[in-house]
Amino acid sequence: MKRWLPLVIFVVLVGFFAKGLFLNPREVPSPFIGRTAPAFTLPLVGDANAAFSPADMKGRVWMLNVWAPWCVSCRYEHPLLMQIAQSGRVPIVGLNWKDKKREAEALLANTGNPYVAVPEDLDGKVGINYGVTGTPETYLIDKQGVVRMKHIGPISPEVWADKFEPKLKELGA
């Protein structure tokens, strides 16, 4: 039995590594799917006297897009977010994540603002509560405030059509 133990361990490890080769790194399972979105209250970019909380969106299907001015991929998805916002399909809240230089307000003034609100998460704690690993990440949240989908990476037209549209229809948005 001792003679076969290293071979058995080797075969098990090879099995795990082989399975990992076929997984999509953008499809990271989120423990928040099916759970109430973490609550927070943050000041808005450009207006420290105003604040945003997910409770403000109760009764509506909405997207939480975690982005940052320093994020190159965020700039890639920005034109599509502008189209989505202009269509009125779903409101988008843009969580400005770790913007230490406070560049968001100027950037949105220059490139357009697809967001109904832009809360600023300067220390990144809200992002941590949502399980954010980097930017951009987008969450689809239903009318009861439950996270129904998480997408890691920029939203492309294909991702929008293949992932977001079917889920929005399912949620009645």
- Provide the residue ranges of all domains of the chain, joining segments of one domain with +: 32-170
Instruction: Dump pLDDT digits (tens) for 66-78.
Output: 999 999 999 999 9
Please name the fold of domain 32-170.
Glutaredoxin (3.40.30)
DSSP label at residue 77? H
pTM (predicted TM-score):
0.83
pLDDT at 157 over 70: yes
CA 52 to each of CA 40, 72, 81, 94, 96: distance values in angstroms, whole numbers, following the listed order? 8, 25, 20, 11, 12
What is the rounded distance in angstroms from the CA atom of residue 48 to the CA atom of residue 29?
Answer: 34
The residue written with tokens 């399909």 in the block is 89
- E-state strands within the chain: 42-44, 47-52, 62-67, 92-97, 120-121, 137-141, 147-152
pLDDT at residue number 28: 59
Q: What is the mean pLDDT of the chain?
A: 92
